[in-house]
Amino acid sequence: MTASGTFGYGTEYSHLFDIQKLGAIVCKGTTLEPREGNPQPRVAETACGVLNSIGLQNIGVKALIEEKAPLWASWRVPVIVNIAGETVDDYSQLAGELDGVAGVSAIEVNISCPNIRAGGAEFGASPKSAARVTTAVKAATSLPILVKLTPNTSDIAEVAMAVAEAGADAISLINTLKGIAIDVTKRRPLLGSISGGLSGPAIKPVALYMVYEVAGAVEVPVIGCGGITTASDAIEFIMAGASAIQVGTASFTNPRAPLDVLEGIEKFMKKEGIEDITKLIGIARL
Ligand SMILES: Cc1cc2nc3c(=O)[nH]c(=O)nc-3n(C[C@H](O)[C@H](O)[C@H](O)COP(=O)(O)O)c2cc1C
């Protein structure tokens, strides 16, 4: 799969390679109303990664349903809509509006968003608020729901167990890690909104650790994400217990990265004489 926010609505990449060959496309985080996002600068390169503070710039759910979904409905590749809100009601309303829309195959719930009714703490930081969002979304839609966890919490396995209990059909992880960069000449934070989210190869060992932890704690499928750039990276996540993977930041340097990773996995399987990928899921777990 592609990781949300790094592959637009799929259409932006469709002239570069055959996106229909991918397992799924996860679109940019979608909110009830259109958003312009955070002030510039919003992206800064770091050693082995990227800091971003896009601030959920998106066209809003109404435009998504009217302008994007009809095209997705004609695609072979399933499209998963990533949703984001500031209140539990936002999430359930979004899920309700997307329910039954042709071209939308599933919902990925981004719980790395600040809960404005609870002092701005991320929904995903606590098992309780993460479960509350999951329950609300599940009640509002018949679509399968993936809940996407934040690494910015003290015990990610506890959050995972809570959202699985609340009805998540799958769990994706991880979202970005909080970070800051300083412009030493200006003596100011480099990003317009001060802090941002770190992604890319720099976070891979953290993501892999969290996938290992979560896969050992829940029965639902786990989707690994964080710094996956090559097929070998992806296979590490699968061996740690992921049933599927997402490619994000790697697409910025190589737009074909999601398909390269997929083809690389197939090559590895052929070389190793493995016919069924499920044989590899969690194989490295002790
Ligand atoms: C520019 C950018 C925008 C992102 N936007 C979203 C988003 O809208 N919703 C979301 O759940 N995750 C978003 N993410 C997080 C990614 O989907 C992914 O979880 C994270 O970047 C780690 O994977 P990676 O290292 O392969 O990029 C974004 C990441 C980047 C770099």
**How many A from CA of 7 to the centre of ligand 1?**
9
Segment 185-227, tens digit of pLDDT: 999 999 999 999 999 999 999 999 999 999 999 999 999 999 9
**How many A from CA of 3 to the centre of ligand 1?**
6
Predicted confidence (pLDDT) at residue 18 exceeds the cutoff of 90: yes
Atom number, ligand 1, closest to the C-alpha of residue 174: 19
Atom 10 of ligand 1 has which residue's CA nearest to it? 4
β-bridge mates for residue 108, sequence order? 82, 146
Q: Which of 61, 57, 58, 60 is nearest to 40 (CA)?
A: 57
| Catalytic sites, residue numbers | 113
Atom number, ligand 1, closest to the C-alpha of residue 247: 26
The identity of residue 209, as a single letter, is: Y
Predicted confidence (pLDDT) at residue 280 exceeds the cutoff of 90: yes
Segment 63-88, tens digit of pLDDT: 999 999 999 999 999 999 999 999 99
Round to whole Å and give the CA distance between 71 and 66.
10
Left if phi > 0, otherwise alpha if psi is -120 to 50, otherwise beta: which for 61?
Answer: alpha
- Is the bond into 281 cis (omega within 30 degrees of 0)? no
**How many A from CA of 2 to the centre of ligand 1?**
10
- Three-state SS string over 22-66 comes to CCCEECCCECCCCECCCCCCCEEEECCEEEECCCCCECCHHHHHH
Round to whole Å and give the CA distance between 280 and 184.
46
Round to whole Å and give the CA distance between 72 and 11.
9
119 pLDDT band, cuts 50/70/90, is: confident
Atom 19 of ligand 1 has which residue's CA nearest to it? 175
pTM, entire model: 0.98
Round to whole Å and give the CA distance between 242 and 284.
11
